[in-house]
Chains A and B, each alone.
Chain A
Amino acid sequence: MSRNRRELPEINAGSMADIAFLLLIFFLVTTTMDVDSGISRKLPPMPEENIETPEIHKKNIFVVLINKNNKILSGIGSPTSMVEINGDGSISSSLKENIKIFVSNNGLNLNSSESPEKAIVSLQNQEGTSYNMYIQVQNELTKAYNELRNEKSNIDYGKDFNKLDVEEQKIIKKFYPMKVSEAETKAN
């Protein structure tokens, strides 16, 4: 710029905007803004042969059974009590509360889990169970654990779980490990 050049004729950039708009509209139309989200789970590996399944004490298992009529039964050790379903089709929050009480029992009640680490939620479903109900139960389950972790992190760190850094989250997750066992679907 310091040298005195002869001025070049300016290229007309007026139509640039039009071209950019055209592209913009194309992407606007093709864009799908929905973010993929869902409930993440890890499946157990296929059982190897000749390996005995470890014995788990009955009181450490909370069974949730969804039968083919989409009725939910739950209970410690065996599914004994029926979980109500609200008028709008959502599951009564008692399931979540029961799971929370069960997991955070810490041996207090002798008929319930010994520690959060040993507590296992066993989710059973049947051939005719609807996927929608299954996801709703999974959702309640996740909610129970999320709330427990949140409570723990509020006591330990004074803030919500999702505001903690990765290391702190790991500690909490180790304290409340989510152990969900899914038995094979029963035939009827």
Chain B
Amino acid sequence: MSKFKKGGGKGMPAISTASLPDIVFMLLFFFMVTTVMRETTLKVEVSQPEATEVKKMEKKSLVSYIYIGSPTINQQSIFGTKARIQLNDVTFSRKEVSEIQNFIIAERLSKDEDEIPYMTTSIKADQNVTMGIVTDVKTELRKVDALKINYSTKKPKEDN
């Protein structure tokens, strides 16, 4: 005990905060790595259906997203309420569904050639859309040979 008493005679020594930035940087890097910034603003309302048997999506950079849903409120004056398909920042009606082919081709051009077989298309559709439009989208995807798809879902709420 006497060993300790000798040193701390006068008041408390200030705690070194030199390592505080390191700690904060560590947190910072964690959030930087986990952050996914949304690239597109949604112009259609998408509330995904729930499912339990899901798989995580791998390799986010190789995923192209197709959103299907009815237009958001501020878009409704232009497009009405009928379900539309959003590719990047543009929405298309069901009749213009063949635009998906151009979209997939454009997506492919932006990737390396050897990565193309691993590309996945994620269908983010609203739970209230009908299968008619979804099937149209799927048929277009088949036409351009983009066969790997993922029906995006959300986790069910806990109260089962």
Segment at the B interface, from A51-59, A138-146, A166-174 = A138-146
Which of under 10, 10 to 19, 20 to 34, or 35 or more describes the interface residues of B? 35 or more
Q: Does B135 contact A (CB under 8 A)?
A: yes
Instruction: Give Cα distance in the complex from A43 to B146, angstroms.
Output: 8
Give chain B interface residues in 135-160, CB to chain A under 8 Å: 135, 138-139, 141-143, 145-155
Residues of B within 8 A of A130 (CB): 127-131
Inter-chain contacts of A38 with B (CB < 8 A) = 51, 54-55, 57, 122, 150-153
- CB contacts (< 8 Å) of A146 on chain B: these are 53
Find A40's partner among B37, B129, B149 (CB 8 Å cutoff). B149
Complex: how many Å from CA A128 to CA B142? 21
Which residues of chain A are within 8 angstroms of B120 by Cβ–Cβ distance? 40
Q: Shortest distance in angstroms between B115's beta carbon and chain A's nearest beta carbon?
A: 17
- Which secondary structure dominates where chain B touches chain A? mixed
The 8 Å CB contact of B28, one of A23, A46, A143, A182, is: A23
What is the total number of residues of chain A having a CB less than 8 Å from a CB of chain B? 47
Chain A residues close to B by CB (< 8 Å): 13-14, 16-17, 20-21, 23-24, 27-28, 30-46, 66, 125-132, 134-136, 138-139, 142-143, 146, 182, 184-185
Chain B positions within 8 Å of A, measured between CB atoms, are 17-18, 20-21, 24-25, 27-28, 31-32, 34-38, 49-57, 60, 63, 68, 120, 122, 125-132, 134-135, 138-139, 141-143, 145-155
